[in-house]
């Protein structure tokens, strides 16, 4: 075991040294994975192959991630650009500040981190749109159409993720569902519910919407729905803070119904 | 490993896009359209009528709410009439409409065996709409349950034969 540790740390040092050398730039970062940790031969072989000829065959042999073997993870706490090797200067690391290359998606960065927000329900979403646009100025696929296929892929995935993050966080209901998902709680939407009092109330409201004659009546109902929603938002925020996940799920279910009524009202208007 | 991961991710994304397009191409089966355009048995019975059972169910996913009511002949236990009111998608409306058609003229115990899969098959519901038929099945069960609960309650209160005995027993 100690032997292995010796090899892994040696490999790490070698990896870093090799990596920083300009000969080993594009395409090699992170794919330098070794099946046999105990021999240096992959590295020597790598040296001669780096000119680009047998890159395909070389990759095919590799199974394990360097991350798994190195005592210090190469990616993770110390992010590096795959293109120019510059260390990440800020979080989240979605695009390199130095060479502007779009980075591959790191799923461990959650949506709140993308927008630099605390993982709380009552986050300020006022300047979400401007942050979102700032990100797209760096990540949008249109900006990389002349770059490598790899970078175009990264840009497509990264910008799609930022779009998803933006829409998820900007709406209260989806934000709530997402927060529960981060805690591993899945809101089972397929299960039928039979809360007679609540459903009777919803039924009444939906009938009122159908029968409403003018926009004034509709606005009134809309106002009522918004009021109900806000009280359930508070409910959710409290339940979540206290880790009462069942109550949180109930809040989300209620919110879904009120949001639906709002949608129907908008359709009618 | 990252490259393989990215490729897999892109592959998944493609697959998702494909299924999305396919579902856009799917259209409602003509039976669903028929039930939507000519719904049978839309309406309401008096909730407080002792011969009426009301089932009120909801599907949190889409915010749908379905009310199904049955009118039962007290002596034979046969469902003589049914009506529904559903706020939801075409599949949900059609499912409840079919449910009201199927329960009419049947015994209460019989309708409890109506399965959502039968409704779904009748309407050729796509997988994404299966929960609508489940909602209809649950609505039928809830209506029967409500009627029986009412009967039990009435049985307690309206028992004129031996109120004195009851008080003595209690």
pLDDT tens by residue, B2-58: 655 555 544 444 444 544 544 555 577 888 888 888 888 999 999 899 999 999 999
pLDDT at position B163 over 60: no
Q: Which residue of B has its CA nearest to A66?
A: B1
Residue B118 domain flag: yes
Instruction: Indicate if A136 and A49 belong to the same structural domain.
Output: no
What is the CATH classification number for the domain harbouring B130? 3.90.1010.10
Q: Decide if A256 touches B, using CB distance below 8 A.
A: yes
Q: Do A189 and B2 touch (CB under 8 A)?
A: no
d(CA B102, CA B80): 11
Residue B13 domain flag: no
Higher pLDDT, A161 or A23: A161
Residue B81 domain flag: yes
Residue B160 domain flag: no
Quick check: A205 and A261 in contact, CB under 8 A?
A: yes
Residue A231 domain flag: yes
Instruction: Indicate if A143 and A159 belong to the same structural domain.
Output: yes
Instruction: Give the pLDDT of residue A122.
Output: 84
Instruction: Indicate if A164 and A78 belong to the same structural domain.
Output: yes
pLDDT at position A64 over 50: no
CA distance A203 to chain B (A): 7
Q: Looking at residues A160-180, what average pLDDT do you find?
A: 92
Q: Do A157 and B60 touch (CB under 8 A)?
A: no
d(CA B57, CA B66): 5
Higher pLDDT, B64 or A66: B64
Residue B25 domain flag: no
Instruction: Indicate if A93 and A144 belong to the same structural domain.
Output: yes
Residue A252 domain flag: yes
Domain interval for residue B38: 30-149
Q: Looking at residues B68-89, what average pLDDT do you find?
A: 93
Instruction: Give the pLDDT of residue B8.
Output: 52
Residue A259: CB atoms within 10 Å: 18
Instruction: Give the pLDDT of residue A53.
Output: 41
Nearest CB neighbour to B2, from listed A30, A193, A259: A30
Nearest to B54 by CA among B43, B41, B63, B67: B67
How high does pLDDT run on average in chain A?
76
Q: Decide if B56 touches A, using CB distance below 8 A.
A: yes
pLDDT at position A18 over 60: no
Q: Do A154 and B67 touch (CB under 8 A)?
A: no
Determine whether A67 is exposed, middle or buried from the number of CB atoms within 10 Å of its CB (0-12, 13-18, 19+). middle
What's this model's pTM, rounded to 2 decimal places?
Answer: 0.67
Instruction: Give the pLDDT of residue A15.
Output: 52
Residue A50 domain flag: yes
Q: Which residue of A has its CA nearest to B129?
A: A190
Nearest to A7 by CA among A25, A34, A27, A44: A34
State yes or no: ipTM above 0.85: no
Instruction: Give the pLDDT of residue A3.
Output: 58
Lowest mean pLDDT among A16-20, A111-115, B24-28: A16-20
pLDDT at position A158 over 80: yes
pLDDT at position A57 over 70: no
Instruction: Give the pLDDT of residue B156.
Output: 77
Nearest CB neighbour to A189, from listed B13, B60, B138: B60
- As for how many domains chain B has, the answer is 1
- Collect all residues of chain A within an 8 Å Cβ-Cβ radius of residue B4: none
DSSP chain A: -HHHHHHHHHHHHHHHHHHHSGGG-TTTTTT---S-TT-SHHHHHHHHHTTSTTHHHHHHT--S-HHHH-SS-SSSSS-B-TTT-PBP-SSS-SB-TTT-PBPPP-TTS-HHHHTT--S-TT---TTHHHHHHHHHHHH-GGGGTTS-HHHHHHHHHHHHHHHHHHHHHHSHHHHHHHHHHHTT-----SS-B--HHHHHHHHHHHHHHHH--SHHHHHHHHHHHHHHHHHHHHHHHHHHHTT-HHHHHHHHHHHHHHHHHHHHHHHH-
Q: Decide if B138 touches A, using CB distance below 8 A.
A: yes
| Long-range contacts of A13-21, Cβ-Cβ distance < 8 Å, separation of 24 or more | A14/A40, A14/A43, A15/A66, A15/A70, A15/A74, A16/A74, A18/A43, A18/A46, A18/A47, A19/A85, A20/A85
Instruction: Indicate if A150 and A236 belong to the same structural domain.
Output: no
Where is the domain boundary, A50, A66, A82? A66
Q: Do A193 and B6 touch (CB under 8 A)?
A: no
- Collect all residues of chain A within an 8 Å Cβ-Cβ radius of residue B1: 30-31, 33, 62, 64-65
Instruction: Give the pLDDT of residue A194.
Output: 83
Residue A190 domain flag: no
Residue A125: CB atoms within 10 Å: 16
Q: Do A157 and B10 touch (CB under 8 A)?
A: yes
What is the CATH classification number for the domain harbouring A138? 1.10.287.110
Residue A101 domain flag: yes
d(CA A81, CA A99): 8
B62 is catalytic: yes
Instruction: Give the pLDDT of residue A32.
Output: 39
Quick check: A182 and A110 in contact, CB under 8 A?
A: yes
B132 is catalytic: yes
Q: How does residue A193 score in pLDDT terms, banded at 50, 70 and 90? A: confident
Residue B110 domain flag: yes
Instruction: Indicate if A60 and A87 belong to the same structural domain.
Output: no
Instruction: Indicate if A117 and A31 belong to the same structural domain.
Output: no
CA distance B9 to chain A (A): 8
CA distance A212 to chain B (A): 16
- As for how many domains chain A has, the answer is 3
pLDDT at position A33 over 70: no
Lowest mean pLDDT among A61-75, A82-96, B39-53: A61-75
Q: Do B62 and A259 touch (CB under 8 A)?
A: no
Q: Do A199 and B59 touch (CB under 8 A)?
A: no
Instruction: Indicate if A208 and A262 belong to the same structural domain.
Output: yes
Q: Decide if B65 touches A, using CB distance below 8 A.
A: yes
Where is the domain boundary, A170, A204, A239? A170
Instruction: Give the pLDDT of residue B147.
Output: 94
Q: pLDDT over 70 for what percent of chain B?
A: 77
Instruction: Give the pLDDT of residue B128.
Output: 87
Quick check: A266 and A184 in contact, CB under 8 A?
A: no
Instruction: Indicate if A136 and A209 belong to the same structural domain.
Output: no
Q: Decide if B61 touches A, using CB distance below 8 A.
A: yes
Q: Which residue of B has its CA nearest to A196?
A: B56
Q: Do B6 and A261 touch (CB under 8 A)?
A: no
Instruction: Indicate if A36 and A78 belong to the same structural domain.
Output: no
d(CA A144, CA A155): 7
CA distance A194 to chain B (A): 5
Residue B155 domain flag: no
Q: How does residue A50 score in pLDDT terms, banded at 50, 70 and 90? A: very low
Residue A53 domain flag: yes
Any bridge partners for residue B86, and if so which?
B66
Quick check: B58 and A200 in contact, CB under 8 A?
A: no
Instruction: Give the pLDDT of residue B25.
Output: 52
Residue A138 domain flag: yes
Q: How does residue A16 score in pLDDT terms, banded at 50, 70 and 90? A: low
Residue A99 domain flag: yes
Domain interval for residue A219: 196-268
Instruction: Give the pLDDT of residue A35.
Output: 39
Instruction: Indicate if A62 and A77 belong to the same structural domain.
Output: no
Q: Do B3 and A59 touch (CB under 8 A)?
A: yes
Instruction: Give the pLDDT of residue A23.
Output: 43
Instruction: Give the pLDDT of residue A65.
Output: 43
CA distance A30 to chain B (A): 7
Instruction: Give the pLDDT of residue A9.
Output: 55
Where is the domain boundary, A66, A96, A118? A66
Disruptive mutation site among A192, A257, A268 for chain B (greatest number of B CBs within 10 Å): A192
Q: Do B63 and A193 touch (CB under 8 A)?
A: no
Q: Decide if B6 touches A, using CB distance below 8 A.
A: yes
d(CA A60, CA B160): 87
């Amino acid at each position: 075991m100690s032997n292995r540790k010796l090899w892994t740390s040696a490999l790490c040092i070698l990896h870093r040294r090799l990596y920083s050398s300009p000969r080993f730039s594009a395409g090699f970062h992170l794919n330098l994975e070794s099946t046999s940790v105990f021999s240096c031969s992959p590295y020597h072989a790598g040296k001669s192959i780096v000119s680009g000829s047998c890159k395909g065959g070389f990759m095919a042999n590799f199974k394990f991630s360097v991350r798994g073997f190195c005592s210090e993870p190469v990616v993770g706490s110390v992010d590096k650009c795959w293109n120019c090797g510059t260390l990440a200067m800020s979080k989240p690391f979605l695009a390199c500040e130095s060479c502007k290359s779009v980075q591959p998606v790191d799923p461990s960065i959650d949506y709140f981190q993308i927008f630099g927000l605390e993982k709380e329900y009552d986050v300020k979403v006022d300047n979400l749109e401007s942050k979102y646009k700032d990100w797209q100025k760096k990540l949008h696929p249109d900006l990389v159409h002349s770059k490598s296929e790899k970078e175009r892929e990264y840009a497509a995935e990264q910008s799609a993720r930022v779009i998803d993050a933006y829409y998820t966080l900007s709406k209260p209901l989806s934000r709530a569902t997402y927060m529960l998902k981060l805690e591993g709680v899945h809101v089972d939407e397929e299960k039928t519910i039979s809360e007679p009092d609540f459903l009777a109330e919803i039924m009444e409201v939906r009938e009122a919407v159908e029968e409403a004659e003018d926009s004034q009546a509709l606005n009134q109902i809309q106002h009522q729905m918004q009021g109900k929603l806000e009280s359930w938002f508070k409910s959710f925020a409290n339940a979540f803070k206290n880790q009462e996940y069942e109550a949180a799920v109930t809040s989300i279910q209620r919110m879904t119904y009120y949001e639906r009524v709002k949608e129907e009202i908008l359709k009618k208007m | 490993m990252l490259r393989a991961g990215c490729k897999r991710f892109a592959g998944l994304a493609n697959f998702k896009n494909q299924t999305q397009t396919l579902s856009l191409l799917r259209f409602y089966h003509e039976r669903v359209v028929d039930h939507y355009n000519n719904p049978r048995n839309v309406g309401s019975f008096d909730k407080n009528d002792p011969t009426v059972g009301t089932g009120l169910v909801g599907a949190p996913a889409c915010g749908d709410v379905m009310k199904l009511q049955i009118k039962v002949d007290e002596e034979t236990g046969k469902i003589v009439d049914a009506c529904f009111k559903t706020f939801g998608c075409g599949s949900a409306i059609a499912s409840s409409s079919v449910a009201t058609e199927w329960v009419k003229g049947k015994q209460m115990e019989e309708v409890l065996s109506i399965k959502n899969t039968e409704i779904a098959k009748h309407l050729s519901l796509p997988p994404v709409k299966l929960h609508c038929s489940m909602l209809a099945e649950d609505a039928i069960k809830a209506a029967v349950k409500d009627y029986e609960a009412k009967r039990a309650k009435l049985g307690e209160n309206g028992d004129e034969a031996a109120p004195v005995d009851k008080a003595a027993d209690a």
